Amino acid sequence: MSTCNWRTGFGYDVHRLAEGYKLCIGGIEVPFDKGSVGHSDGDVLIHAICDALFGAANMRDIGFHFPDNDPALKGIDSKILLKKCTQLIREAGYEIGNIDSTVALERPKLNPLIPQMQEVLSAVMNIEVSQLSIKATTTEKMGFVGTGEGIAAYVSVLIYKK
C-alpha cells in the first residue's frame, strides 16, 4: 500500500483565563485584563496549530514534544515551539499546504488583530500569509468561553509530502 502525499490534521486547545497573566494569541500580546494560564506563554492558537501539524504528520502531539513539566519550557514564547514544530515536520519530509483556524473568545474582540497575527505566524512558519486563515468567534455567552473563564482554538491543516 502506498502512502498518501496529502494529509490533514486537527488541533484543539483551551486555556483558563485569569488576572495576572499576559494574553498571547497568534504570536502577539493582546491588551486585556486577563491572560492565558499555561506552562508556556499560553498561546492557545499556536498550541492548536502545533497539535494539528504534528497530528497530520503522525508525530504525536504538542505535549509529547514540549511537555508541560519541562522546567526549560516554563514561560517560553510559543513562537519558539511553533518554529521547532515546523522544523520537525519539514525534517520528516512534509510541507504546509494551508492552515484554517478559529479562536473562540468572548472578549476582547480579535478581528482588528488578525492581520498582525497572520503576518507574525506566517513568518515563523515560513509560509505565505495566504496559507493561514485565522477567524474569531464568540460562544454567545455560553460555556466556559462565554462566561470569560477561558479561551479555545480549533485548527485544521493540510500538509503534503515534498
Cell triple for 28: 502577539
The pLDDT, as a whole number, for residue 2 is: 58
Q: Is the pTM of this model over 0.85?
A: yes
Q: pLDDT tens digits, the chain, 162 residues: what are they? A: 556 799 999 999 999 999 999 999 999 999 999 999 999 999 999 999 999 999 999 999 999 999 989 999 899 999 999 999 999 999 999 999 999 999 999 999 999 999 999 999 999 999 999 999 999 999 999 999 999 999 999 999 999 998
Q: Do strands 150-161 and 6-18 pair parallel, antiparallel, or not at all (unpaired)?
A: antiparallel
Contact predicate 89/125, CB 8 Å? no
66 among annotated binding-site residues: yes
Which domains occur in the chain, in start order?
A: 7-108+132-161 (3.30.1330.50)
Residue 92 burial class via C-beta count within 10 angstroms: exposed 0-12, middle 13-18, buried 19 and up: middle
70 among annotated binding-site residues: yes
14 among annotated binding-site residues: yes
111 among annotated binding-site residues: no
51 among annotated binding-site residues: no
65 among annotated binding-site residues: no
138 among annotated binding-site residues: yes
